[in-house]
Amino acid sequence: MEPPVLKELSDSNTEMQAQVRTSLHKQVVVLGLDGSGKTSVLNSIAANKGKVVTTPTEGVNAVCVNNGNSKMEFLEIGGGEHLRPYWKMYLSKAFAVIFVVDSADHERLPLAKRHLHQLIQHDAIVPLMVFANKQDLKNAYHITEIHEALGLSDICEHRKLFLIGTYVAKDESDVSSGILDAKEFLAQLLSESSTKRP
């Protein structure tokens, strides 16, 4: 299956092209292995509330968030094995990447690490936000252990890298402070990137 790809405009209207390009650069690409919590985190960011029922994402899931006076688009690319090769295609369009890991899935952390390291080779500068998700689970690794397990010190040399502990609560009224912090960082990155990546 081919995932939908954003088409470049062939239209000669350059003003329109510029507008489209600006809006593309407001995209945050959300990646991570299947089951890590991408859809749940996205829903929590969008709705400012906790658990919303999710089903596995086949293909792409787009969510638009109005954050005060800035508008961001989040694009989740399914994390199943057959979709992972397509992740890198979306990088150049994004002003930031969120990589979600299940902090309690110790067995698949080396796989998450491998994909993350492969992925970021394709863009040397895009800011990276790693969500150490499912911090509510008893056996979840602490963010210092996630930092180590994902080898983050090897990939932060030339880029902005944030590691944030998150969880999507069962109680809808409870939003993890990590999610709120992430929204603030993203708004800040967006305002910086709109001056740097025209």
Q: What residues line the site for Mg ion (CB under 5 A)?
A: 38-39, 57
| Cβ neighbours for 26, distance < 8 A, ≥ 6 positions apart | 70, 71, 72, 73, 95, 190, 194
The footprint of ligand GDP on residues 104-133 (CB under 6 A) is 133
Cβ distance to ligand GDP smaller for residue 25 or 176: 176
What is the smallest separation between the CB atom of 118 and ligand GDP, expressed in angstroms?
18
| 154 annotated binding-site participant | no
Q: Any binding-site annotation on 43?
A: no
Please tell me the distance from the alpha carbon of residue 32 to that of residue 42, in angstroms, as a whole number.
12
Closest CA to 72 of 51, 39, 52, 45: 45
**From 26, 72, 79, 152, residue interacting with ligand GDP (rule: CB under 6 A):** 79
- The least CB distance from residue 150 to ligand GDP, in Å, is 16
69 is in an annotated binding site: no
**Interaction partner, residue 34 (ligand GDP, Mg ion, none; CB < 5-8 Å by kind):** ligand GDP
The residue assigned the tokens 């859809």 is 39
- CB of 193 vs ligand GDP, minimal distance in Å: 25
Binding segment (CB under 6 A) for ligand GDP, from list 10-18, 50-58, 120-128, 146-154: 50-58
Do residues 84 and 114 make contact, with C-beta atoms less than 8 angstroms apart? no
36 is in an annotated binding site: yes
For residues 25 and 146, which CB has a smaller minimum distance to ligand GDP in the complex?
A: 146
Nearer of residues 80 and 151 to ligand GDP, judged by Cβ: 80
The CA angle 117-162-119, to the nearest 5 degrees, is: 20
39 binds ligand GDP (CB under 6 A): yes
DSSP 38-98: HHHHHHHHHHSSS--------SEEEEEEEETTEEEEEEEEP-STTTGGGGGGGGGGEEEEE
Q: Binding site, residues? A: 32-39, 57, 79, 133-136
Residues at the site binding ligand GDP, with contacts judged by CB under 6 A? 32, 34-40, 54, 56-57, 79, 100, 133-134, 136-137, 167-168
